[in-house]
Amino acid sequence: MKELTLQLGLTPESDCNYLPHQRDQLGIVMDQPWLNPNGYDLLISSGYRRSGSVIYKPMCKHCNACTPLRIDCSQFTPSKSQKRQQNQLKKLQWQFKQQLDPDWFDLYERYINVRHASGSMFPANKQQFFDFISAPWMNTAFLHLYQDNQLIAVAITDVFPDSLSAVYSFFEPEHKLSLGTLCVLLQIEVCRQTQRQWLYPGYQIDQCREMNYKVRFTPHQKLINGEWISETVKNTQNG
């Protein structure tokens, strides 16, 4: 990619979905030459993410809580609880596929109805879902997790030459296992098997319970002032 400029458009300010009493604003990539796997690969390593075909980065005026984070899969060391969860995978089956299983929507609908009935994705809608997770220029795969041949979780995953990016996951909402964590562990395993170093799980938001789990996977790096800083945290989480 030679001498490309990066033109951003700013969204209007709106109420933050993650932190009460905060206002958010996004910088949206406007230049078409960036909307391809190579362009997005460069941008995701600079702290950007995508929603559908839109590549964005938080540019809030009074808050910088959203911190880009990436997990070093080549050096990943599971915590005690993560080792227990890895052992649970021995009783499950998983596949990394290019297409969704035919019965995916029933699982997705149950997940939305139980976990996100008050959110913007309720009621579950196929077209809205694909608009959110798909980009025609991106190589996206689907990690499927099964128990006794029954689909219990799906992790939508963008595929780059040296990394994977977690786009979205849904799972049996009342399952006794921590299926969200298992999806991340499996994405790390895919990285290790395919010799990819990094998994980008999205933004870490320390003050938001739903968004602060990413630091439990170590070692990882945070993007701070334009530089990826290694951070190894001793993980004593039991969940």
Residue 1, pLDDT above cutoff 60: no
Stated pTM of the model? 0.93
The answer to whether residue 239 sits within a structural domain is no
Distance between CA 198 and CA 203 in Å, rounded? 14
- Residue 236, token pair as written in the block: 């004593």
The answer to whether residue 105 sits within a structural domain is yes
Q: Write out the residue range of the structural domain in which residue 86 sits.
A: 69-231
The answer to whether residue 76 sits within a structural domain is yes
β-strands 163-171, 198-204: how paired? parallel
The answer to whether residue 237 sits within a structural domain is no
Residue 2, pLDDT above cutoff 80: no
Dihedral over alpha carbons 112, 54, 224, 62 (to 10 degrees) = -80
Distance between CA 155 and CA 210 in Å, rounded? 16
Together in a domain, 171 and 195: yes
Phi, psi of 143 (to 5 degrees): -85, 120
- Residue 81, token pair as written in the block: 């609880």
Distance between CA 21 and CA 207 in Å, rounded? 12
Predicted local confidence at residue 99, as pLDDT = 97
- Name the domain count of the chain: 2
**Which among 77, 76, 67, 69 is positioned nearest to 221, based on CA atoms?**
69
Together in a domain, 131 and 212: yes
The answer to whether residue 78 sits within a structural domain is yes
Together in a domain, 50 and 157: no
Residue 239, pLDDT above cutoff 60: no
Confidence of residue 232 (pLDDT cuts 50, 70, 90): low
Together in a domain, 78 and 58: no
Residue 238, pLDDT above cutoff 80: no
